[in-house]
């Protein structure tokens, strides 16, 4: 792959938001950054940018520091600066319309009320890849904001920690544009080991 990849994780800047459900994108990028030995974070494009390699492909990690609803103001300039096509953008974000702990990768589509996606789509158009990490729906529309801005609960961490680790391990498949392979590998890594029967 000659075209570099830009993986953007969505979240809100500041330590008070660090463990929020809405910051799932930042949490995944931090794990990816550590697991694949990316370079130091640098302040660029109203965000934090790091460079590294995934599956032999030059890859940039970007955590916009604009607050969620202005994510496009960071990602748009970065994509344009590196002269990347929209197909080279992968956005990792929390998704209330997916059950907690579920993972889906898709290209294009609507923003399902996710303000970060709305901002990116308004800036660049909808045809980018999205890695959607399910955080579950609180059941009532009026409770959505409180739900996403709450910290992941202790119960959440039990599925979140292994999922994030598996996503980081499977990330080279994203760099190969193999979204189905990425989802399969994550599912495989999360499978409990089969009980070995006594011979």
As annotated, the active-site residues are 22
Query: CA angle, corner 195, sides to 190 and 199, nearest 5?
Result: 150
CA–CA dist 148, 38 (Å, integer)? 28
**Tokens at 135, concatenated:** 């955080």
Instruction: Please tell me the distance from the alpha carbon of residue 112 to that of residue 110, in angstroms, as a whole number.
Output: 6
Instruction: Return all residues near 75 (Cβ < 8 A) that are at least 6 apart.
Output: 6, 8, 45, 47, 62, 64, 89, 91, 120, 123, 124
Angle value at C-alpha 153, between 75 and 169, nearest 5 degrees: 55
């Amino acid at each position: 792959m000659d075209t570099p990849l830009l993986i953007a994780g969505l979240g809100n800047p500041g330590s008070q938001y660090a463990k929020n459900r809405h910051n799932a994108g930042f949490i995944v990028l931090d794990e990816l950054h550590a697991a694949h030995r990316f370079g130091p974070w640098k302040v660029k494009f109203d965000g934090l940018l790091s460079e590294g390699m995934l599956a032999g492909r030059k890859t940039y990690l970007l955590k916009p520091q604009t607050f969620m609803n202005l994510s496009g103001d960071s990602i748009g300039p970065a994509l344009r600066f590196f002269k990347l096509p929209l197909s080279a953008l992968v956005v990792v974000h929390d998704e209330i319309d997916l059950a907690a702990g579920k993972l889906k990768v898709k290209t294009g589509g609507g923003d399902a009320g996710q303000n970060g996606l709305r901002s990116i789509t308004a800036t660049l158009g909808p045809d980018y890849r999205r890695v959607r990490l399910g955080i579950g729906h609180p059941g009532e529309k009026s409770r959505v904001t409180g739900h996403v801005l709450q910290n992941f609960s202790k119960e959440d961490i039990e599925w979140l920690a292994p999922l994030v680790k598996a996503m980081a391990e499977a990330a080279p498949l994203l760099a190969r544009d193999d979204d189905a392979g990425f989802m399969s590998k994550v599912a495989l890594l999360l499978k409990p080991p089969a009980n070995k029967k006594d011979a």
